[in-house]
Chain A
Amino acid sequence: MSIGLKVKAKPLDEEEANRPNFVMRILRKAKQREKVGPLARRRERWFYAMIAPWIIGFIVFQAGPIIGAALLSVADYSASKGITWVGLDNYAMMFEDPLVGRTLLNTIYYTFVSAPLGLIAAFILAFFLNQKVRGVNIFRTVFFLPTIIQGVAVYMLWGWIFNPRFGLVNNLLKLIGINGPGWIYDEKWAMPTLIIMSLWGVGWMMLIYLAGLQDIPMELYEASELDGASGWQKLRYITIPMISPVTFFLFITSIIGSMQVFAPAYVLTRGGPGYATTTIALLIYFAAFLWKRMGYAGALAMVLFVFILVVTLVQFLVAKRWVYYASEVD
């Protein structure tokens, strides 16, 4: 298995992995430090010189801004007046603002429906593509294409497809006698519409699943066939557990991505109707750039940040129960 989190966990050099225990590691490190010769030292200097662009970028565009957002959340900022400190006022305001709870719920709704559905859809696509089909490349292209073009042009297209009066969906529904809903113009249906749109872009997850499926050793299936396992049993007891690290990785990344969703909602609904599709990311944008309340937006951003961290952490904790790593058994 060469995808996903396992790659990150693997140390780069073998030596490190073979270190027997904590004490030996310290002893060896001390020894190494003595042995660092002029060549190694020169290489180390080159290493730091070469990664300098990233270090500078990290400080200026990542770490700095994160600290900045934390500071901003207890302050207010305007281009003319600069920064004024307001303490925890911004956080206090959040509790009184009904929009905050609403947008948090919207974000949770979108994330925890679209991410699992996307995973299931991607798995199903990959599973069928993995069945020795002819023309697999054509199918793969078809399913993958929408991922690439996600952008304003595609949101325009969806706006037309889900047009309540003349759009394709309601037009087709009318043919079978169903009066379709108002989709993005209907408070109840706007969020489901965005979720359906997101499902169109599961191609990248499908590709990763497909690679993962092809990595599952054939022997496992052959052995189970000898034991008389049915197709369903093979799926349930071999494929799904063996693919679980991939599922875990995709779940983590798609949840993080979905919680920040901005562009489709901005282009199609501007967060509406009412506030039905205002996600946290949209609220932050509105607060900062429409209402010019930078400090408040900073506080909201911190909430989003902590929210994502907590959700990711919980996923890592729960992962032990359902993610299976083949290497743990060997």
Chain B
Amino acid sequence: MADENRTEQPKFFQRKSTRELTLKSIVYLILGLLSVAFLIPFLWMISTAFKDPALIYKSPPIWIPPEFILDNFKRGLELMIPSFEKLFTNSFTITFLSMVGTIFSSSLVGFAFAVFKARGKNTLFTLMLATMMVPMPVTLIPQFILFTQLKWIDTWRPLIVPHFFAAAFFVFMFRQFFGTIPRELFDSAELDGCTPFGLYWRIALPLAKPAFATAAIFSFLGSWNDLLAPLVYLNDLNKFTLSLGLANFQATNYTLIQYLMPMAILGLIPILIIFFLAQKYFVQGIVTTGMKG
């Protein structure tokens, strides 16, 4: 775990004071340049979206438009099929239900792995970790056939229901988290007559708010950004997710940059809001599990 309060850092660039100063400024210069490189795509997107379309193709590029116009957003929204609100609501519904399913099922399984002793537990845990390595394209087609047999194609069910059966990544995360709760807490609650499910529901869950937040965010992003599953399972435009709608929009209007960029911005806003609200949980989650969503 990262120790946030650690003040001492290994000294790579600090030997003599003048040299130290130059090296330090080099570090800042490099970090600054890299930051610019990382941010430029965003700035360019914003600049394009608010520009008069006539100025978009100018060379050298115009970074700050003489006037900021909202017309591109308006016209872009008119071109979205079915409508941006529809796609947004669809994505939100699917993402929300998947998220609820993921965090409750995964926390329950993670709790069991962390707290109970049982024969075969370690084998099962290893097996579960191994499933993280199974590539998505391998299971995709048999799952597609399964959902075809169930007549779930062109419904949201294939996108939501599997999330209610715990995901290895989140189970691992919750197991790591519940492992840090002192065992005595569970032991004494059990002596007081708490049922094993009660240990999960009444003791572990209320303590697991940070882990819940982390899992919720990762699960939200995973569903929100997912393209492959909606692409495979949905045919009806009215059921499309925002990702799928945007991919569609890009494919049909790829020359209309002035409308693509505003729609890309609108697509990113929900994610950006979540990111800035919950940045601390992201960092925690990645550092404790060592993985991305």
Contact = CB atoms under 8 A, between A and B. Distances in A.
A133 interface: yes
B10 A160 contact: no
B129 to A, nearest CB: 6
B109 interface: yes
B254 A159 contact: yes
Contact of A305 (B135, B162, B165): B135
B6 A214 contact: yes
Interface in B217-232: 221, 224-225, 227-228, 231-232
Given A157-B261, A214-B6, A298-B141, A133 B131 contact: no
A171 B271 contact: no
B133 interface: yes
A208 B112 contact: no
Given A12-B122, A65-B143, A160-B261, A211 B1 contact: yes
Contact of A53 (B2, B109, B119): B109
B31 A128 contact: yes
Nearest to B35: A142
Interface residues of B, number: 110
B287 interface: yes
Interface stretch (A20-28, A89-97, A280-288): A280-288
Contacts of A156: 246, 250, 260-261, 263-264
Contacts of A2: 1, 288
B148 interface: yes
B139 interface: yes
Contacts of A151: 224-225, 227, 243, 267-268, 271
A190 interface: no
Interface string B146-172: 101000000000000010111010010
Contacts of A141: 279
Nearest to B43: A168
Contact of B10 (A47, A130, A308): A130
A174 interface: yes
A51 B279 contact: no
B118 interface: yes
Nearest to A121: B34
The interface size bin for chain A is 35 or more
B113 A51 contact: yes
Interface string A142-154: 1111111111111
A161 B40 CA distance: 10
Interface string B162-199: 10111010010000100100000000000000001100
Contact of A304 (B61, B131, B135, B268): B135
Given A53-B108, A54-B105, A151-B267, A144 B282 contact: yes
A304 B112 contact: no
Nearest to B292: A204
B140 to A, nearest CB: 7
A46 B190 CA distance: 13
A119 interface: no
Given A43-B118, A44-B116, A48-B118, A221 B10 contact: yes
Given A44-B119, A143-B34, A66 B139 contact: yes
B12 A131 contact: yes
Contacts of A130: 9-10
B12 A294 contact: no
Contacts of B54: none
Interface in A203-230: 204, 207-208, 210-211, 213-216, 218, 221, 225
B191 to A, nearest CB: 11
Interface in B30-53: 30-31, 34-35, 38-41, 44-45, 48
Contacts of B135: 256, 259-260, 281, 301, 304-305, 308
A133 B166 contact: no
B246 A218 contact: no
Interface string B1-28: 1110010111111010000000010011
A62 B139 contact: yes
Contacts of B277: none
Nearest to A234: B12
A325 to B, nearest CB: 15
B73 interface: no
Interface string B115-130: 0111101101111110
5 contacts: A60-B146, A60-B165, A128-B34, A159-B254, A256-B135
Interface of B: 1-3, 6, 8-13, 15, 24, 27-28, 30-31, 34-35, 38-41, 44-45, 48, 56-57, 59-61, 105, 108-109, 111-114, 116-119, 121-122, 124-129, 131, 133-146, 148, 162, 164-166, 168, 171, 176, 179, 196-197, 200, 221, 224-225, 227-228, 231-232, 243-244, 246-247, 250, 254, 257, 260-261, 263-265, 267-268, 271-272, 275, 279, 282-283, 286-292
Q: Which 4 residue pairs spanning A and B have beta carbons closest together?
A: A57-B165, A68-B142, A153-B267, A65-B142
